[in-house]
Amino acid sequence: MALIGAGGIGKTSIALKVIHENRIKQRFGENRRFVRCDQFPATLPHFLARISKVSGAGIENPGDLASLLPFLSSKELFVVLDNAESILDPQGTDAQDIYDCMEELCQLETICICITSRISTVPPDCEALDIPTLSMEAARDVFYQKYKRCGRSGLVDDILRQLEFHPLSVNLLATVAQQNRWDVTRLVKEWEGRRTETLRKEHQTSLAATIELSLASPMFQKLGPDAMGILGVVAFYPQGIDEKNLEWLFPTVSDRTHIFDKLCMLSLAYRSNGFITMLAPLRDHLRPKNPMTSPLLCTTKGCYFVRLLIEFDTQEGRWIMSEDVNVEHLLDVFTSADPSSDDVWDACARFMDYLGWRKPRPTVLKKSVEEFSDDNSAKPGCLYGLANLYGIIGNPTESALFLRHALKLVRERGNDYGVATILQALSRSNIVLDRLEEGIDQAREAIEIYERLGKTMKCVGCLDSLAQSFWAAGQLDAAEEVIVEALKLLPEKGQELRVCQLHQTLGDIYGSKGDIEKAISHYKLALGIASTLGNRHLLLAIHFALTIHFLKEGRLDDAQLHVEQTKSFAFDNSFRLGLAASSQATVYYLQNRLKDAASEALRAQEIFETLGTLKLLESCNLLLQEIKEATESLHPSVESDSNFHGTSARAPTSTTSQDSENAPG
């Protein structure tokens, strides 16, 4: 049997537990031996001499295994070969001879061999077991066996999670904290200040020493200087490296696939769900202390920045969904390490566009953008991207704050186009904030600027925003007039997206006028256009609107049909999944399927709570309350107008225009 895993994972501890286990003791008695393979030279003569000694064969300097076989075959023997990577490393002097010898030993029926190794090159007759990290409960037990200065603490649990329950790291943390007599507050402070540098106790035992032992192996040294750089890159990215990206992330490393295979073989990295990553303590120790000084890391940064130039609303733009955490971390680090770089901030704005389109969620980059100098030309674009993102996830107050800040900056710089773009976004934002007169004024000013600049199609988009402000203010005739004016400005062909958006708004207007059939007719016109365009955002919003209007009509089968379509366009986006779940909950509620309704409403509630989407969260809470009351009374209301508790027919989208254009400034 071979126990395989990274340094400090607990291989030796398991082997020691096994060799002293009662059933092993009963079977082998005194014929149990523990051999530290790193305590003798990695040559075949030294290996054979050690086997002769521990087995009791008594043969001095055996020339080969054959001379030992008569004795080894005469009695049962249990042998642990600890740290066997030191003699099995393929790059070692006698590696092949030792490997062949060990393979022969493993075939003897009288000998049970337990190997512990950091490398996976073990004889085929060995059953190789990859040793995992500890469970949370086991990690707590290990920690509090050593640390006696307090009861169990959630603060300690947080650190154990950050260590990914790596046994040696947990053990060292507990020992260092106990020896230094730290209380939990001091322990947390030391950890936050020094991270894995804390994991060092007296007598030279440390996490660093364990890692350096792996790096000193002949196999790793044979990989050359690129291996250390690649290891630092893997350590830098929280998710590790997507195996599909090796070619474009490391164009200067010709043998990159070979190096990654060897890093996994050495247990310095491991494969997980298509990514090559490493344990958190190793990652913390090996990541570049100054990212600017790592050529390979800077290369990957440039590769990611180029990839962010792909249009995020295309099929190719879906890549961000699996690597958003990596890119976010990259930008978070480099906005601090290289704050004067326009490329970094442009990539930051682009990334927030990607998030808004593909994976709406709050971002840690918010703090970086807020602290970024107002003097930098990229600041308005970053604020605009941040506003768009927070508008999409349902936080219009924050969105409006970012937009007002951006508006102030572009006005100061005399950027009329940027002013108009942000005014239009603010107009949409103020609809949600119920600041309708302000929104109407902003839309009108934006239209004036676009007309002066000769931007006819931008005028059309802004007229749509103005109509929505009128609609929200209850000025339905004025809203309809504006849309009719906008339609007149459009050419017969080439502006299908604009036409689609205007029919969608007309659907909203007629729905509010009570002419549901006319509203549905315009939504279906918009739906036909959106289908030809393949615009998933619009398709989801229109299906969502049709769901609401069919609910108002009490046409539950039609509503269910469009709920299913809403789900089909929401599968890869948590915010939209929340919308789909809330729609489905409403349909189930009206169908008197209260248990199913509660399940969907709870799912939507969880999503909106996680995203901080307060208005939609409030709607879910109201719906859940109605479901609860109906369940308790066993006489649920199924009136057709018990719809979405005040939610508008239009699915929330961004607070900015729906154009896929660059941010202002």
Tokens of 147: 């640390």
| pLDDT, tens digit (0-9, with 9 covering 90-100), for 181-197 | 999 999 999 888 888 78
**What pLDDT was estimated at residue 611?**
74
Q: For residues 534 and 364, give the distance between their C-alpha atoms in angstroms, rounded to a whole number.
A: 31
Same domain, 530 and 641: yes
Show which of 104, 130, 156 is a domain's final residue: 130
Same domain, 330 and 374: yes
| pLDDT, tens digit (0-9, with 9 covering 90-100), for 36-65 | 998 889 899 999 999 898 888 888 888 888
Mean pLDDT, residues 371-393 taken together: 90
Mean pLDDT, residues 170-181 taken together: 90
Confidence of residue 661 (pLDDT cuts 50, 70, 90): very low
**What pLDDT was estimated at residue 204?**
59
Cα distances (angstroms) measured from residue 439 to each of 328, 448, 653 = 33, 14, 17
Same domain, 256 and 283: yes
Check if the beta carbon of residue 468 is closer than 8 Å to that of residue 432.
no
| pLDDT, tens digit (0-9, with 9 covering 90-100), for 76-125 | 999 999 999 999 888 887 888 999 999 999 888 899 999 999 998 888 88
Provide the pairing of β-strand 128-130 with 2-4: parallel
How many domains, in total, are found in the chain? Answer: 5
Query: Has residue 358 been placed in a domain?
Result: yes
**pLDDT more than 90, % of the chain:** 60
Same domain, 117 and 159: no
Query: Has residue 500 been placed in a domain?
Result: no
Query: Has residue 586 been placed in a domain?
Result: yes
List, in sequence order, every beta strand (DSSP E) within 232-362. 241-242, 270-272, 275-277
Q: For residues 372 and 239, give the distance between their C-alpha atoms in angstroms, rounded to a whole number.
A: 26
**What pLDDT was estimated at residue 202?**
57
Has residue 654 got a pLDDT over 60?
no
| pLDDT, tens digit (0-9, with 9 covering 90-100), for 4-46 | 999 999 999 999 999 999 999 999 999 999 999 988 898 999 9
Tokens of 502: 């205007």
Same domain, 25 and 92: yes
Same domain, 94 and 151: no
Judged by average pLDDT, the poorest of 130-144, 274-288, 647-661 is 647-661
Q: How many residues does the chain have?
A: 665
**Which 3 state secondary structure label does DSSP give 278?**
coil
Check if the beta carbon of residue 84 is closer than 8 Å to that of residue 78.
no
**What pLDDT was estimated at residue 208?**
84
| pLDDT, tens digit (0-9, with 9 covering 90-100), for 193-240 | 888 787 776 555 778 888 888 888 889 999 988 999 999 999 999 999
Show which of 80, 99, 130 is a domain's final residue: 130
Confidence of residue 653 (pLDDT cuts 50, 70, 90): very low
Judged by average pLDDT, the poorest of 294-308, 337-351, 387-401, 566-580 is 566-580
Same domain, 151 and 113: no
**What pLDDT was estimated at residue 567?**
86
Locus of tokens 């036909």: 528
Show which of 412, 436, 470 is a domain's final residue: 412
Query: Has residue 467 been placed in a domain?
Result: no
| pLDDT, tens digit (0-9, with 9 covering 90-100), for 449-482 | 999 999 999 999 999 999 999 999 999 999 999 9
Per the structure, the complete domain to which residue 227 belongs is given by: 210-301
| pLDDT, tens digit (0-9, with 9 covering 90-100), for 519-552 | 999 999 999 999 998 887 788 889 989 998 898 8
Has residue 562 got a pLDDT over 70?
yes
Same domain, 106 and 69: yes
Query: Has residue 660 been placed in a domain?
Result: yes
Query: Has residue 420 been placed in a domain?
Result: no
| pLDDT, tens digit (0-9, with 9 covering 90-100), for 355-370 | 988 888 899 999 999 9
Q: For residues 331 and 224, give the distance between their C-alpha atoms in angstroms, rounded to a whole number.
A: 29
Confidence of residue 279 (pLDDT cuts 50, 70, 90): very high
Q: What is the mean pLDDT of the chain?
A: 88
The count of other CB atoms within 10 Å of the CB of residue 481 is: 13
**Which 3 state secondary structure label does DSSP give 532?**
helix
Higher pLDDT, 544 or 660: 544
Q: For residues 460 and 497, give the distance between their C-alpha atoms in angstroms, rounded to a whole number.
A: 11
**What pLDDT was estimated at residue 360?**
85
Same domain, 545 and 623: yes
Has residue 560 got a pLDDT over 70?
yes
**What pLDDT was estimated at residue 436?**
92
CATH number at residue 63: 3.40.50.300
Query: Has residue 643 been placed in a domain?
Result: yes
Tell whether pTM > 0.75: yes
**pLDDT more than 70, % of the chain:** 94
By C-alpha distance, which of 215, 197, 216 is closest to 207? Answer: 197
Query: Has residue 172 been placed in a domain?
Result: yes
Same domain, 267 and 331: no
Same domain, 156 and 101: no
Same domain, 384 and 336: yes
**What pLDDT was estimated at residue 637?**
46
Has residue 662 got a pLDDT over 80?
no
* Edge-to-edge strands, sheet with 77-82: 32-36, 77-82, 111-117, 2-4, 128-130
